[in-house]
Structure 1
């Protein structure tokens, strides 16, 4: 007996949908997923503007690795200033006001001190307190200094300036130390992640 196509289609629509079975993951799979997620947020450890400025000025300040005593002083100052900025900017945060404009502030014990006074007037004390200074900020700042140190060790101009003829032991140390710093900071960032968006850190559109 032939069935009406419309009747067949209607019967299929009333059939219960197949339920998707939940995927069971092992403990190792869950740990790896968490590790990869934390690695994706590793860029939050450093203010991109500070790092890009350091990489841009490094060849100029070090004379492309052929340093004079004056160049060495300039390179020292560049590394010191960039390192301090990486540390301090970890205590900054950003948010979007009612008009959707990004506003920046500095985390304090009482809350967020907004640089823009007009935005500060619109930020209620309850909302500002959610941005208050926490212990995780100091951990994040310490990791930021470590990652920046790894970037300095990878910079051939800076290393040639301070160590023009390094020994074989130092060469191996300079090659392996940044890798261990990256691994350690990735693990720490997975264990103690931060949700703070400072100056130079990515901020979502929402």
Structure 2
């Protein structure tokens, strides 16, 4: 394989990774499972509509929040999750950890990679748009809120949203690998004990945050 072909393949892989991190697949599947219950399988009354709306707002917030999280593989092989801030990656387990480039509860290394940036807000907006297009235009949500919506809208709007995301993604910075996102092979701990420690820290951190 030539260098040009390798570069093109690498760029395609990066774009696909960014798309997969933006598209709220897991959150969408969860919304579909919950919506069947909250909408009474599409035959919903006023209370069902309110409960479904609250559920969708919470899931939208989760989609947006995940775009402000990232992961860092420390020199001890442990993968730490945290929230990106203007200072760096925040994780309460950084306090007293003795890790390099850690100041208090913030990891400030890697040339400000974990600093909050404008595109984090853009990615959060795109993620919420994708979730809304997928959720609000599929049953049982459609049959609950607007059963007479034209098929043309149901079919065309998600395509337009997907096209917008596909246009913006190639020009975006590298996708973050935060809560709910896949961790690259290079960020996977090399032994079972490190993996166990990572899982314990990650679960504790998630519950703390």
- Is TM > 0.5 for Structure 1 vs Structure 2? yes
Number of aligned positions between the proteins: 178
RMSD over aligned Cα, in angstroms?
A: 2.8
* 1:33–1:99 Cα change, 3 Å: closer
Task: Return the TM-score normalized by structure 1.
Answer: 0.74
Q: Report the counterpart of residue 78 of structure 1 in structure 2.
A: 55
SS at match of 1:43: helix
1:156 deviates by 0.9
Trace 1:138-149 onto structure 2 (pairs within 5 A): 138-149=121-132
Q: Give the deviation of 1:132 after TM superposition.
A: 0.6
Structure 1 unmatched runs, 5+: 1-19
Structure 2 gaps, min length 5: 103-107, 187-209
**1:76-122, CA deviations, whole angstroms, 9 ceiling, x for partnerless residues?**
01110011111111001112233433211111111111143458652
Q: Which of 109, 117, 136 matches 1:127? A: 109
Q: Report the 3-state secondary structure (helix = DSSP H, G, I; strand = E; otherwise coil) of the residue aligned with 2:37.
A: helix
Q: After the TM superposition, which residues 174-189 of structure 1 pair with which residues of structure 2 at under 5 Å, given as runs?
A: 174-189=154-169
Q: Structure 2 matches for 1:7-18, cutoff 5 A? A: none
Aligned to 2:138, which of 155, 172, 181? 155
The residue matched to 2:59 in structure 1 has which SS?
A: helix
For structure 1, which segment, 119-128 or 55-64, has the greater mean C-alpha deviation from structure 2 after superposition?
A: 119-128
Deviation for aligned residue 1:71: 0.9
Structure-1 separation of matches of 2:93 and 2:62: 20
SS at structure 2 position matched to 1:95: strand
The list of structure 1 runs, each at least 4 consecutive aligned residues, that deviate by more than 6 angstroms after superposition, is none
Q: C-alpha separation between the residues in 1 aligned to 2:158 and 2:135?
A: 9
